[in-house]
Amino acid sequence: MNSTRSNETDARGVPVSTRTQSSLDAFEKALWQFQSYFGDPTATLACALHDDPDFILGHIFNASAMLMLSERQYLPAVQESLATASALAPKANDRERALLAATRDLAQGRWHEAVAGWDRLLVDHPRDALALQCAHLIDFYLGDAVNLRDRTARVLGHWDVAVPGYSYMLGLHAFGLEECNEFERAEAAARTALAIERRDAWSVHALTHVMEMQNRYDEGREFLEATAPDWSPDNGFAFHNWWHLGLFYLEREDFAGALALFDERVFNPDSDISMELLDATALLWRLHLQDVDVAGRWMAVANRWAMKTGVENGYYAFNDFHAVVALSGAGRLDAARAVLAALGDAAKTNPPATRAMAAEVGVPACSAIIAFAEQRYDEVIEILSPLRARAHRFGGSNAQRDILTQTLLVAALRSGRTGLATNLLYERAVHKPASPLTRRWRTQCAQQATYRAAA
């Protein structure tokens, strides 16, 4: 028989309507899994909901966790969880009903309304770790760097080391600081978090971003390789930290190392999770820009995307962009154009948030990739030159969106636009002056300029 507790709060003092201890214990474990990426929170809650089907927070959590994957394929299961939670809402407390409303907004494509709902909830319950984690991830998908930083800043004063999950809140804040180019403060927050919980993959991620943006590629490589036994085994976010290691290899011109990492750590041929596929795609494209022969890897990644596009096309432009990159890399341009066409429809018919992403960034970015694959480099330049300034609007991080700048730079080189290439390299040198990859491009640009002058 389930035991009960006398008070009705979670471990952070946030109100819950259930008094069933086993359900609350399952919630705490699932929350830790959601924050740490170790284990499956939905599987944990499935057992609790079997024993306590009226546990509304469990149903809301399930819907929220699936929505954070940014894929249409999970919407039927999300709607099922939300329908159950809605039926239980009369028995819920105000906090749970507010969580339900925000999650319902997100499921219906009202992303801005969802984050506004979580933000209102955090005013009254600043230790609501579920609301904060969800809002942070949607800030990331929206490309809202200011709120990545400030949403956590508004509540961190209510947290301290004695509060369960404090290190994870610091990790969220560290990443927000990094995306706002506050690198020293980001590093301090991430290192404090890791001193509390060294296995925290998101704080590892935040610190790695700092090293990436500061051109500390050797230090970053050593850090990730040394700490991998902490954050990598059985961790659902490890693929992304391995991808970051691949970026450090690329800056070193260690293309063989990056390919080996792709094969061993980044690409899972059995996974259909978009977040994993887009990292595999992004690493291959960067190697492609360096004329590295990636053999049959393009086809393997493109096949995984092709299995998803019928369902996912037009749902989230950042994912669609990477599908187009993979399909173009594999030479499957008709399939890439089909994704672009669906994204064009989404730019007219989607709810406002994702409609804007598609129209303002997704459609032109995908068009540029297809043009690049067809060697229409002047068109690539025409599209990407103004696009970079607003590319954050379709989500991702500064490091991820660098794929657009690298593509523009190579298009400039291949079209003989050495003046533009030189300016882009001056821009890159502000952040990565000592990078061998920067020097490699400089050499190519100088050789091209010399050849054109002699001609």
Phi-psi map region of 51: left, alpha, beta (phi>0 left; psi -120 to 50 alpha): alpha
- Looking at the DSSP bridge assignments, the partners of residue 398 are none
* 451 pLDDT higher than 70: no
pLDDT surpasses 80 at 207:
yes
Helix spans in 232-332 (H): 238-251, 255-261, 274-289, 297-312, 317-329
Cα 123 to Cα 128: distance, rounded to the nearest angstrom: 10
Cα-based torsion angle of the residue sequence 437, 219, 259, 40 in order, rounded to the nearest 10 degrees: -130
Alpha carbon 166 to its chain centroid, in Å, reads 22
DSSP states of 18-58: --BHHHHHHHHHHHHHHHH-BS-HHHHHHHHHHH-TT-HHH
| Cα–Cα dist 411/336, whole Å | 19
Phi and psi angles of residue 235, each rounded to the nearest 5 degrees, phi first: -110, 130
On the question of pLDDT at 1 being above 80, the answer is: no
Mean pLDDT of 30-50: 95
pTM of the model: 0.96
453 pLDDT band, cuts 50/70/90, is low
19 pLDDT band, cuts 50/70/90, is: confident
**pLDDT beyond 50 at 4:** no
- Asked if pLDDT for residue 394 goes beyond 70, the answer is yes
Among 71, 34, 65, 67, smallest CA distance to 201 is for: 34
The dihedral sign for the CA sequence 284, 288, 289, 291: positive
Residue 443 CA to residue 420 CA, distance in Å, equals 15
DSSP state of 72: G
What is the chain's mean pLDDT, rounded? 95
Name the β-bridge partners of 20. 4
Q: What is the pLDDT of residue 29?
A: 97
- Say what the pLDDT of residue 454 is: 65
Which residue reads 């700490």 in tokens?
A: 227
Long-range contact set of residues 24-31: C-beta below 8 Å, sequence gap at least 24: 26/58, 27/55, 27/57, 27/58, 27/61, 28/164, 30/58, 30/61, 30/65, 31/61, 31/129, 31/130, 31/165
Average pLDDT over residues 394-422: 97
Dihedral of alpha carbons 296, 301, 307, 313, sign: negative
pLDDT digits (tens, 9 = 90+) for 215-226: 999 999 999 999
